[in-house]
Structure 1
Amino acid sequence: MNLMKKRPYLTMIHDLEFRNTTEKGLSLEKVHERILHFMRLDPKAEYKFIIGTDCQVHTGHTKFITGVVIQRMGKGAWACYRQVIIPRTFSSIKEKLSTETSYSEEIALFFNEQRRSEMEDIVLPFVYQGASVEMFIHIDAGTDKLKNKTAMFVEEMVRRVESMGMVPIIKPDSYVASSYANRFSKKPYHPTEAGITLSNGIL
């Protein structure tokens, strides 16, 4: 009889809900509402709407964090993030970068022409006073081959983002991916996180 305890293991977790320091359980619809509300508070401002994903390889899993940020230039920001946990370790740099870009694209697809127009309509009456909103995807890669192992894959990721009608930003300026999302991807996932618990060794 095998008396060894079965080792718990993870299945893939693909969160569709977002959170930040004050809220959790936000659907994409709620995220969009929060963004519109933030913009309406100051419709004469300059805004950057940014999506960016970072991943970290941990023991037994790879954690992807996608951040969504609406930045009011010089006057603060509203941000949230979601996670995807894949129960294996990614060793290929290209696979990691491509998957990061895919998760950013997934969120960008939700912000379709209609939803982007709703954001643009807020600042439209004040464009001659300097109001604006620009939309970006931050890519966690740079072109400096001495500093970035991802350099050879940057062009492909840039083309993918441009094909979605958004502006790609790479290192060192892709701070939503390399700083905001990275802040949360660095922490390994634990099965009890966000109230999810193990049952019979299976998540």
Structure 2
Amino acid sequence: MSAWWSYRPEDLLMFSSRVYERLFVLHNQALWPAQPLALALGAGLCLVLLRPTAGRLRLVALLLAAAWGFVAWAFLWQRYAPINWGIRYVVPLFALQAGLLLVLGGRRGGLALPSGSGASRGLGLGLAGYAVFLHPLTAVALGRGLAGAEVFALAPDPLAIATLGLAAMVRPARHGWALLVVPALWCLFSAATLSLLDGPAAWPPLLAVAIAVAARLMAPG
């Protein structure tokens, strides 16, 4: 038996990059034609963040809560957990994020966004726009093809990045920080996994966390 110090970090993974990519292909095939609807909902999310009202932000919180619950069940539990036993411990965190969105979005006063066009709002909108419109295209850039695209509200990374966009600029600040924790943890976990699999794909979730934290620090209280 080899000594434990002979193992590299990637040796601890229970799957290859090909198996990981195949997860998204099978997931998209099973959910088709949900992808166009998810993209439409994502576009609606971005429009609301551009022109927010209290009622619209409640709908955004409800949409994101439903998406966190759905991704936890349909992707993490049904597809990812069978090849990575540690994911079963992540599912409750996704459920916690869904509940947090429901509670904070539904309480009196709800969530609010800063007026004007400050840096925090611009960065938050940029994260949301990237998650909805650009992140699915990273599959093409990495040679996976659109069949393996990660789509907002159907896959965890774009959902977490879009939520980071909301958390980066939402008011009051304590609500923003509360909403930021779980998606940031997921993005860091995803970046660590992807860095062991194929390197370049790890940068988007990692940068999203850095941008969200910086925007949150710049956001008004």
Q: How high is the TM-score relative to the length of structure 1?
A: 0.27
Q: Which has the higher helix share?
A: 2
Between Structure 1 and Structure 2, whose CA radius of gyration is higher?
1
